[in-house]
Structure 1
Amino acid sequence: MTSAAAPQVREMTLADVDRVSEIRVRGWQWAYRGLMPQSYLDALSVAEDAERRRAGFGRGGPGVVNLVAERAGTVVGWAALGPYREGEVLTEEAELYALYAAVEHIGTGVGRALLQEAARRAEALGHPAMRLWVLEGNAPARRFYTRAGLHADGAEEPFEVAGVTVSEVRHGGRLPLEGSFPTAL
């Protein structure tokens, strides 16, 4: 864990894609160890993730926002948000699509800064609430979101990863968030 000054949050640019992909892939490999097949996690490729991310950059649709957190000019976290997807239908609520801190920066306020800014942006875009999906077995992330005011609402959704069914649970809350914004993540 690296301790440092509060991160600065800004909109992601195309130049950030490689670092964001590195943070995302390494984050999956670290956080989902034991929750998903190890062979799947080991096969994740930063280069392939960056290629997909670069190809789709700026095409997320209306209201989609990608944010990065920086410390000393280095990207140390990433978050993405946009309209909540109920199947193929976009709703008036916001969805936090992703939030990742670089593994060496977990617990240093990166996740908190990104979540606070994502919630602020969602509220500014007129969303009355925010929802997100998190792996059921990812207890640290679930505690983080619950402390921030995003509580499990009982909805669950299974998906398959390398032939193994993994369950996600939905968390949500009204905006502005009224949680404590813990430092973990």
Structure 2
Amino acid sequence: MTDDLLRIRPMALDDCDRVSEIRVRGWQYAYRGLMPQPFLDGLSVERDAVRRRARFRDGEDGVTDLVAERDGEVVGWAAHGPYRDGEVRTSDAELYAIYLDPAHVGTGAGRRLLEAVLGQCARYARVYLWVLKGNTRARRFYETAGFRPDGAEEPYEVDGVPVPEVRYVRSRGLTSASG
């Protein structure tokens, strides 16, 4: 598969079930061995879809959701908006999430989705994201796109197991996701 047939578009309410499936399966794929397996096994596409539809209908303050669609099938999802410093929104941007259907990892869909996010965030001086410290695959992906760890770390705990996150930043001036 190549990314030539890929289309990036705004997420629609009708995409919520598929986006929830991608998000849950993405967590189960990407975080295997990084988070407790019972927690990952207990994730529910249905519960996530209920929350996602409600958030989508209510409109999340400043959040932009995009999907990657290949041959009419949604294969990836990303969300971005203002950087959140606790509950405070700042003048920088943040990539809140980017997930692919595990069958589409390595096909260029993630790179194209990230390029679209970065294009929409071009007016910001900086784009931040948080990634699990142990998620080396994701960290390589972001580093290839010009993101760098800035030294900030956050404790994160799942079912009593520490899974710390590190913050990455990409400053204006890098114009493509290829770095």
Q: Per the shorter chain, which TM-score range?
A: over 0.9
Deviation at 1:161, TM superposition (A): 0.7
Q: CA deviation at 1:89?
A: 1.0
Q: Does 1:145 align with 2:142?
A: yes
Match of 2:172 in 1: 175
Contact 1:156 1:169 in 2 (8 A): yes
Structure 2 unaligned segments of length 5 or more: list them.
none
* Structure 1 match to 2:80: 81
Report the secondary structure of 1:149's partner residue.
coil
Q: Equivalent residue of 1:115, what SS? A: helix
Contact 1:149–1:178 (CA under 8 A) maintained in structure 2: no
Q: Distance in 2 between matches of 1:180 and 1:120?
A: 9
The one-letter code sitting in structure 1 at the alignment partner of 2:79 is: A
- 1:146 and 1:178, CA in 2 relative to 1: closer, same or farther beyond 3 A? farther
2:35 counterpart SS class: coil
Residue 60 (structure 2) pairs with residue 60 (structure 1) = yes
Secondary structure of 2:2's counterpart equals coil
Counterpart AA for 1:46: V
Question: Distance in 2 between the 1:135 and 1:119 partners?
Answer: 21
Report the TM-score, using the length of structure 2 for normalisation.
0.94
RMSD of aligned alpha carbons:
1.4
How many pairs are equivalent? Answer: 177
1:160-181 Cα shifts (integer Å, max 9, x gaps)? 1111111000011113534653
Deviations 1:23-53 (A, max 9, x none): 0000100110010000000000000000000
Q: Report the identity percentage.
A: 56
Mapping of residues 1-185 of structure 1, within 5 Å: 3-6=1-4, 7-58=6-57, 59-62=59-62, 64-123=63-122, 126-178=123-175, 181=178
The residue type paired with residue 2 of structure 2 is A
Structure 1 residue ranges without an equivalent (≥5): none
For the residue of structure 1 that corresponds to 2:75, the secondary structure is strand
TM-score (norm 1): 0.91
Amino acid at match of 2:80: L
Which amino acid letter does the alignment assign opposite residue 173 of structure 1?
A: R
Kindly state the Cα deviation for residue 72 of structure 1 after the two structures are TM-superposed.
Answer: 0.4
Which whole-Å CA distance do the structure 2 matches of 1:39 and 1:86 have between them?
30
Q: 2 CA distance for matches of 1:5 and 1:136?
A: 28
Deviations 1:115-157 (A, max 9, x none): 000011112xx32110000000100100010110011111100
**2: distance between equivalents of 1:136 and 1:79?**
20
Q: Secondary structure at 1:10's aligned position in 2? A: strand
**Structure 1 counterpart of 2:139, one-letter code:** R
